[in-house]
Every structure is written in structure tokens, then in C-alpha cells.
Chain A
Amino acid sequence: AQKVTQAQTEISVVEKEDVTLDCVYETRDTTYYLFWYKQPPSGELVFLIRRNSFDEQNEISGRYSWNFQKSTSSFNFTITASQVVDSAVYFCALSEPPGAGNNRKLIWGLGTSLAVNP
């Protein structure tokens, strides 16, 4: 069965610390995509990154970086030198294998709530 596990429910750090949010997935697909979304206190859901299963290169975008390791079925997200504005709930999601009509859904983790304190 397809599943996304974000084992860390809540993380609290002090500004400027580095923090890694874990995401472990299970899938029977050989081709799949992984996503990270951010939900700040204002409530909207913001797309951060999409990574396909064939591309295991790490991705860096400013202070954000993502480590995709197929061998451990993990797609971890690191924030370097965290800032108060990084405080949010972060969701990891996995594309589900196509169902009826070849339609796919996303399987969502339960989210990790990150609090960055000044």
C-alpha cells in the first residue's frame, strides 16, 4: 500500500539553526513523484518542490535543500539557517499509482509543524 510517513509531528528550533524534516514513503510504483508543500500560519498551501523517482540528485533552492534517497525511500527536507518566517506546517506527498480512468491522487503525510523561535 502507498503511504507517506512524517514521523516528526512537531519540531522547535532557534533561529539560525539548521533543521531537517523527514519524509519516508512506500509505493509499488516504479515511476512516481514526491512533493513538499508549506502551510504557514496564514493557512494557504504553498508548493515547494516536485521530484521524480528517476532523479536522485539533491536539489537546493536558497536555504532549502532536498535529499532524495531511493534506497531508503526517503525524501528529506533541510532548512539551513532557519528564520522565523519558516515557521509552518510542512507536508510531504506522494503520487498514487493510477486508478480507474488513469487518474492519480496524492497521498499526503500528516505534516510536521516547525516552530522557529527568535
Chain B
Amino acid sequence: DTAVSQTPKYLVTQMGNDKSIKCEQNLGHDTMYWYKQDSKKFLKIMFSYNNKELIINETVPNRFSPKSPDKAHLNLHINSLELGDSAVYFCASSQGSSTATDTQYFGPGTRLTVL
């Protein structure tokens, strides 16, 4: 019973391609997130959705577009992939977004390699 799942786990693609990463949570949480972890392990939040509404949108190139069809799913689409997009992308979820108590639970990550 995976709480937060992501597909695919690995993604290798050429520069200029468009790709999507999917995320699903079965925890009944209202809030979902996308993070990018670079090669130095630095974790940077990219987006957050609460009940399908975008609530956090960090400084991210507009080639990245999140979509939340329902509160259990949050997908990330990336257009015109660049070498610098190579990273591990983590999806996470939490019960809510407005209280300090909300623990974020993470998916297994998607390792994106752009050649």
C-alpha cells in the first residue's frame, strides 16, 4: 500500500523533448507538492496544490506546468527539456497547508536525466 507514488521512477530523454511525471497519494490529504532535488541534494519546492488549487508557485521556468485533476493526483509536465532540468523530482503530500503541524510525506522520487 504505497502512500505517495510517482511514475516513472527513472526518465531519460533528449534535450528539447516534453515529458510528464505523475503523482498519486492515497492518504486522503488535501495538499500536494513538487520538489526538485539537485545533484548536491538541495531540496527546492516548486509548486503546491491544495484541493486542486495552486497555492505555492515558486520561481520556476514556465516550461514547468503542474496539473491537479483531483486532490489525490498532481502531475508535472515539462516542456522543451534542458540539461539543467536533470534532477530528482519528488512529489509529497500533507493533510493541509496552513498549519505548522502538517507533515509532508514523500514519494519515491523520479530521477530525470536530460541528454
Contacts and interface: CB of A to CB of B under 8 A. Distances in A.
B50 to A, nearest CB: 7
B111 A52 contact: no
Interface in A29-58: 29, 31-33, 35, 37, 39, 43-47, 50, 52
B105 A47 contact: yes
B97 A103 contact: yes
Nearest to A45: B106
Interface stretch (A13-21, A59-67, A79-87, A94-102): A94-102
Contact of B98 (A46, A50, A103, A113): A103
Interface residues of B, number: 26
B68 to A, nearest CB: 15
Contact of A39 (B41, B50, B92, B101): B41
B41 A103 contact: no
A66 B92 CA distance: 24
